[in-house]
Amino acid sequence: MIYLDYSATTKCDENILDTYVKVSRDYFANSSSEYSIAYQVKELIDTATQQIADLFSVKKSEIIYTSSATESNNTAIKGMSFYENRDKLIITSTKIHSSIKETLKYMESLGYKVYFLKNDNSGRIDLDDLKNNIFNASLVTIPLISSEIGVIENLEEIKKVVKLNPRCLLHIDATQAVGKINFNMEDIDMLSLSAHKLFGIKNSALLIKKEKVNLIPLIHGGISTTRFRSGTADQASIVCMAKTLRKALENIDEKYKYVEELKLDLIKFFKKYDRVVLNSKEYTSPYILNLSFLGVKIESFIHKMEENKVYLSTKSACSNDKLLSDEVYSLYNDEQRAKTSFRISLSYKTTREEIEEFKNIFDKVYKSFIIIINFESHPE
């Protein structure tokens, strides 16, 4: 099996799984109870939470545990916006995950105003467009790395623009960025991430919310780890989250360099195929390579690769059912290109041997599709 869909999810690390089982078995008590084994659980949670806070240079009280980055994004956008005047803008990118896109559609249905930023020639958000709208905004919500093409936004410049309006907050969806690139939490008001993108447990995620940010919780009830997200604390997931993040943040530069070499090798390989065009260009993550196979039904290509035990995707795993990639279309304004796009997402665990085998399989599959295309063009 050659798995090249790491941006969709990752296989949980065996060591993380072992930790999850051990904590679930040996530390099962409710951390809110008033007896010794519950105190042990609370100490576990407090220690893990402090470790996470230290990794991001934030306060322990600024960590909110959620079930997914989707929930984190919803909590950040809805929770903050319900405090604000509906006449204020929510500013975002055209390259957003569906959990942000659908949330913003909902906010618009309630009367909130949403503004989608233009992209510059490199595919990043247009900073001049952001400057022109920042004084009418209450929130800017941006993915640090887009999930389909892998565009890395200029975070430091975005921070500078948002700071021009002291009443505007910055939310970063870092789901595809944590453990992949270096960044810091300075001048970021809220940040979303998920463990399952990092060889961690599914249904385990975070929202980091700075103390100055006011939120209305989406889930009301008692206080477990925070008043902003009620429910019994899942100590096994919390301990595993700390462990997952520690492992993910180790040797980032070395991992980046290795994966970048794999991506550059693939880009060079694809240049010889006339019907393959590159969508991930400059300022993109080495972990994501988006291309279009022009003239084919892309789902047929994906299934043909699957028959050869190669696993790719057409777009973000959480996007809607339509085949057209909104992200590719927003950058290239080309429906054919957007309909035939596919994503290769790499990991530091991807081997050079897997890449070489992928090349051999792709070459065979590509040639089989060219035969079909040529026949359909000239049936006689």
Residues known to be catalytic: 318
Residue 297 tokens read as 């039904």
CA distances (Å), 196 to each of 69, 113, 201, 226, in order? 10, 32, 5, 22
3-state secondary structure the chain: CEECECCCCCCCCHHHHHHHHHHHHHCCCCCCCCCHHHHHHHHHHHHHHHHHHHHHCCCHHHEEEECCHHHHHHHHHHHHHCCCCCCCEEEECCCCCHHHHHHHHHHHHCCCEEEECCECCCCCECHHHHHHHHHHEEEEEEECECCCCCEECCHHHHHHHHCCCCCCEEEEECCCCCCCCCCCCCCCCEEEEEHHHHCCCCCCEEEEECCCCCCCCCCCCCCCCCCCCCCCCCHHHHHHHHHHHHHHCCCHHHHHHHHHHHHHHHHHHHCCCCCEEECCCCCECCCEEEEEECCCCHHHHHHHHHHCCEECECCCCCCCCCCCCHHHHHHHCCHHHHHCEEEEECCCCCCHHHHHHHHHHHHHHHHHHHHHHHHHHCCC
Ramachandran region, residue 242 (left: φ > 0; alpha: ψ -120 to 50; beta: rest)? alpha
